[in-house]
Amino acid sequence: MSDPAALVPTGETGDANGILVVSGLCALLSIIFIIIRFYIRVAFRQGVKCDDWMLLLSTLLFLLLGSILVWCYSIADGLVTNLDRPMENDSDGDGTGDSEVELYLKLLLALAIIYFTLATTTKLGILIMYNRIFEKDQIFRYQLWAVTGLVIAFWVATTVANLTSCVPLHYNWINTLQDPRYCFNQNVFWAAAGSAELALDALVLALPIGALSRVRLTFHQKLSAGGIFFLGGFIIITGIVRVVVGYDPYGRVPKHYDIVVWTSLHSGVSLVCATLPVMGPLMRIIRHSKPVKKLFQLASRSNTSRTNTANSRSRPRARVTSSPDRSDLREETTANEDYPEPRRLNQNSTLSPVDGENDPVV
């Protein structure tokens, strides 16, 4: 076998450092949000629920995924390989033993299995949270169990497919997935699995819409739910991008760099969005804190001053005319006092008895 770095075709060398930075940032965000989630549960005496433990498991799997990535790239001398070239014997004296390359390829297989487990536990954590929130909605519970069955079936199918991608199994690390007699097309598999996961993400995200429409919510609750669904849309976007940019129409394996970067982003965004629904108590504290109140007051004053300025500019100016002669005004006033305007009477009113007439006015 040859050094894994030599397996990278010209022009296809990925930036391993870029992958590790993206994965590290996503892992850091996941850790921060899962700590905040457990802090809210304990500080507000809500109790740690089953969905919290499931998402904690997802976070730990994500950290394990990142650790194996670091291990892989340390073996591959910092280069990302897409395994498009056949393996060679170590007879060229490059100093790299076959066991190192085999370990690298075994770790790649483990990465695939761990990722699909991570994706499944994240979705199950969200579904368990749905079940706790809408436990009295019987229609929703039937829909929930159906989607849960699809998620578990997805995990079983992808795990079995990874374990049988090459038959016998050891051809995964001695044949570079190139021989169609023993290994199926990994490129097609990742595209199909990514599309199936994308459909499941859309189902999980849209599942509570019907239940929410049957519940009376305040304006702030509707705003929070809308924000969660808006951020959940990023899961769909990252899933679509991963399938599109990771597919290689000219090879039997996907583009390693693109698939790993967008898979890390997809997993990180999924974990963050899964934590958002329990952020309500913390957001209320932040909203009512003094710095935020002062910020809103400054923004309100700024908007008021801009509105007043705009109104003053748009208000038409009064035309200045020459004032009439005051003597004319006095004469006009005296004439009006000598001959006052007759009083208007309603149709049903009568004349004053002083006038001596009691007939109704027509």
- For 229-248, the pLDDT digits (tens) are 777 788 899 999 999 998 88
In a domain, 342, yes or no: no
**Tens-place pLDDT, residues 201-227:** 999 988 888 777 777 767 666 666 666
The larger pLDDT score, comparing residue 360 to residue 324, is at 324
Residue bearing tokens 């004349």: 351
In a domain, 242, yes or no: yes
**Tens-place pLDDT, residues 245-269:** 988 888 888 887 888 888 999 999 9
**Considering the chain, what percentage of its residues have pLDDT values greater than 90?**
28
Q: Give the chain's count of helices (H) and strands (E).
A: 12, 2
162 in helix, strand or coil? helix
Look up residue 95 and give its two tokens.
Answer: 């100093």
Distance CA 337, CA 59 (A): 92
Among positive and negative, which fits the CA dihedral 36, 60, 132, 200? positive
What pLDDT score does 100 carry?
75
In a domain, 303, yes or no: no
CA 109 to chain centre: 28
Q: Kindly report which listed range (122-126, 143-147, 221-225, 315-319) carries the lowest average pLDDT score.
A: 315-319
DSSP one-letter string for 259-312: HHHHHHHHHHHHHHHHHGGG-HHHHHHHHTSHHHHHHHHHHHHHHHHHHHHHHH
Q: Kindly report which listed range (35-49, 71-85, 212-226, 293-307) carries the lowest average pLDDT score.
A: 71-85
Domain that holds residue 114: 4-286
Is residue 303 a contact partner of residue 296, using CB atoms and an 8 Å limit? no
183 in helix, strand or coil? strand
Distance CA 307, CA 321 (A): 30
In a domain, 322, yes or no: no
In a domain, 331, yes or no: no
The larger pLDDT score, comparing residue 341 to residue 57, is at 57
- Enter the DSSP assignment of 83: -
Is residue 268 a contact partner of residue 27, using CB atoms and an 8 Å limit? yes
Distance CA 61, CA 58 (A): 5
In a domain, 155, yes or no: yes
Q: Compute the mean pLDDT over every residue in the chain, rounded to the nearest whole number.
A: 75
- Enter the DSSP assignment of 231: H
**Tens-place pLDDT, residues 148-163:** 999 999 999 999 999 9
Q: Kindly report which listed range (133-137, 169-173, 272-276, 349-353) carries the lowest average pLDDT score.
A: 349-353
Output phi, psi for 206, to 5 deg.
Answer: -90, -10
**Tens-place pLDDT, residues 311-331:** 666 655 555 555 555 555 455
* Residue 43: CB atoms within 10 Å: 11
> Which pLDDT band, with edges at 50, 70 and 90, does 350 fall under?
very low
In a domain, 83, yes or no: yes
User: Is 336 exposed, middle or buried (CB count within 10 Å of its CB: 0-12, 13-18, 19+)?
Assistant: exposed
Single-letter residue type at 123: K
What pLDDT score does 353 carry?
44
In a domain, 318, yes or no: no
**Considering the chain, what percentage of its residues have pLDDT values greater than 70?**
65
Q: Kindly report which listed range (63-67, 101-105, 239-243, 339-343) carries the lowest average pLDDT score.
A: 339-343
Can you list the alpha helix ranges (DSSP code H) found in 164-289? 171-174, 186-206, 209-213, 219-246, 256-275, 280-287
The total number of structural domains that make up the chain: 1
Distance CA 276, CA 228 (A): 7
> Which pLDDT band, with edges at 50, 70 and 90, does 30 fall under?
very high
The larger pLDDT score, comparing residue 172 to residue 323, is at 172
What pLDDT score does 102 carry?
82
Nearest to 263, CA basis, from 108, 103, 152: 108
331, 334, 336, 338: CA torsion to nearest 10: -140
Distance CA 59, CA 211 (A): 28
